[in-house]
Amino acid sequence: MKTALITGITGQDGSYLAEYLLSLGYRVVGMHRRSSTLNFERIAHIQDDLVLEPGDLLDEASLIAVLRRYEPDEVYNLAAQSFVQTSFGQPVLTGETTALGVTRLLDAVRTVRPDARFYQASTSEMFGKVAETPQRETTPFHPRSPYGVAKVYGHWITVNYRESYGMHASSGILFNHESPRRGLEFVTRKVTFHVARIAHGLAHELRLGNLDAQRDWGFAGDYVRAMWLMLQQPAADDYVVATGETHSVRELCERAFAVVGLDWERYVRVDERFMRPAEVDLLVGDATRARRRLGWSPSVTFDELVSMMVEADMDLVARQVK
Ligand code: NAP
Ligand code: F7E
């Protein structure tokens, strides 16, 4: 039986990846950081099948201890301070976790378990002010937030450990991926949750920032399959994972409100508080390499994704008001 270590097990992707690896017969070790209240909501349904181990990307000794104890065959580094807006307010913490955290983990793997295969959660935010459209593995990076800058560092240190030490370290450049388990602060979930509250008469408006921003939104359940596929290849490499379609925040609103038969323009208000000091205007990925080499393709369309999220939030809010 293979063992996989997932950092960021309590996050959106951690929960989907854990489910997927369990279905493939892996022993799944999930690293979580200590908190005063438990935050296992996303993994509650599989908690008994997981090995949960405390550890923190800010603390290298804890990483070494987890690796020594479980000797994983595959390590998926999903942990990060992942919210772009927060990275402007907490740039140093973001750098410590999202940038240097990758080096701490890579170096711990190199020391304790050098043959383990390593996955780094890179991001389309590295393309930022895009140099070409669509973006692919060779597109130059121009990050637009402390988060994006930290991820560029995490990306290159992964490439560097691959080239310097021959580690099987791959980097997945994933475009936005969403689900009913997405954090409430991200725009898709913020919209679908508010749609459900408005439909239930619990709220009357939705305040958003830049409605013109365009993103390539896919379903998280599809994207974790690509992570696993990367680690099954004979050689490590970098892969863009995306749908190849882009939609604006405005279109997202239109679609989400339409699911419950409402006109978005009656409820959405633009609020300066949600604008960013520097914006990423347009992202759309070219996943040709992932399609050809990994045989990966997305299974959920934009409309299906938005409907799935609105319906899940309608159920959630209905349970909350009971
Ligand atoms: P998420 O829901 O925000 O989850 C982040 C995870 O990292 C949480 O489990 C969090 O733990 C953990 N974490 C934060 N700081 C930590 C630390 N110092 N030590 C250990 N764990 C820590 O993010 P996600 O959407 O699942 O994304 C997974 C990864 O993919 C992230 O690296 C993200 O930057 C990257 N990514 C995401 C997308 C996307 O569209 N979702 C696209 C490209 C790349 P707590 O629960 O304790 O906070
Ligand atoms: O913003 C605009 C906002 O916060 C998307 C992370 O998973 O994906 C995510 O980063 C767009 C931006 O995601 C609001 O300005 C408008 O243009 O949902 P988001 P993100 O910044 O793209 C990448 C790939 C990651 O790697 C990150 O970890 O929507 N927008 N109004 C808003 N965004 C938010 N959050 N809230 C608003 O009210």
Question: What burial class does residue 292 get, using C-beta atoms within 10 Å of its C-beta: 0-12 exposed, 13-18 middle, 19+ buried?
Answer: exposed
What's the average model confidence in pLDDT over 4-24? 98
Which of 16, 87, 215, when mutated, tests ligand 2's pocket best, judged by the most ligand atoms within 8 Å of its CB? 215
Query: For residue 158, what pLDDT is reported?
Result: 98
Q: How far apart are CA 134 and CA 125, in angstroms?
A: 13
Contact 132, 154 (CB under 8 A): no
If one looks up domain 3-177+217-241 in CATH, what number appears? 3.40.50.720
Per-residue pLDDT tens digits for 26-45: 999 999 999 999 999 999 99
Contact 57, 105 (CB under 8 A): yes
Query: For residue 322, what pLDDT is reported?
Result: 82
Per-residue pLDDT tens digits for 245-282: 999 999 999 999 999 999 999 999 999 999 999 999 99
Q: At what angle do helices 101-112 and 146-165 cross, to 10 degrees?
A: 20
Helix (H), strand (E) counts: the chain: 11, 13
pLDDT-derived band at 88, boundaries 50, 70, 90: very high
What's the average model confidence in pLDDT over 116-127? 98
Sequence ranges of the domains in the chain: 3-177+217-241, 184-216+246-282+301-321
Residue 47: count other Cβ atoms within 10 Å of its Cβ: 12
What's the average model confidence in pLDDT over 162-168? 98
Same topology for domains 3-177+217-241 and 184-216+246-282+301-321, yes or no?
no
Q: Which region holds residue 128: left if phi is over 0, alpha if psi is between -120 and 50, else beta?
A: left
Q: At what angle do helices 60-70 and 101-112 cross, to 10 degrees?
A: 40
User: Closest residue (by CA) to atom 21 of ligand 2?
Assistant: 84
Query: For residue 295, what pLDDT is reported?
Result: 98
Per-residue pLDDT tens digits for 185-212: 999 999 999 999 999 999 999 999 999 9
Q: From residue 265, how far is each of 275, 302, 304 by CA, in Å? A: 19, 20, 22
| 198 CA → ligand 2 middle, Å | 21
Q: Which ligand is nearest to the CA of 79?
A: 1
Per-residue pLDDT tens digits for 211-235: 999 999 999 999 999 999 999 999 9
- CA quadruple 220, 221, 224, 228: dihedral, nearest 10: -170
What's the average model confidence in pLDDT over 72-85? 98
Mean pLDDT across the chain, nearest whole number?
98
What's the average model confidence in pLDDT over 298-321? 97
Cis amide prior to 143 (ω within 30 degrees): no
Query: For residue 270, what pLDDT is reported?
Result: 98
Q: How far apart are CA 97 and CA 81, in angstroms?
A: 6
Q: Is the pLDDT of residue 98 over 90?
A: yes
Q: Any residues with Cβ below 6 Å from ligand 2, and which?
A: 82, 84-85, 123-125, 175-176, 185-187, 190, 208-210, 213, 215, 249, 274, 276, 279-280
* Cβ neighbours for 147, distance < 8 A, ≥ 6 positions apart: 81, 82, 83, 84, 86, 87, 94, 98, 125
The three-class DSSP label of residue 63 is: helix
Which of 147, 176, 181, when mutated, tests ligand 2's pocket best, judged by the most ligand atoms within 8 Å of its CB? 176
Q: Any residues with Cβ below 6 Å from ligand 1, and which?
A: 7-8, 10-14, 33, 35, 39, 56-58, 78-82, 97, 121, 123, 174, 176-177, 183
In the chain, % helix, strand, coil (3-state, to 5) comes to: 45, 15, 35
From the alpha carbon of 8, which atom of ligand 1 is closest? 9
Q: Which amino acid is at 303?
A: D
| 266 CA → ligand 1 middle, Å | 34
Per-residue pLDDT tens digits for 131-153: 999 999 999 999 999 999 999 99
Domain 184-216+246-282+301-321: CATH superfamily is: UDP-galactose 4-epimerase, domain 1 (3.90.25.10)
What's the average model confidence in pLDDT over 162-169? 98
Query: DSSP state, 58?
Result: T
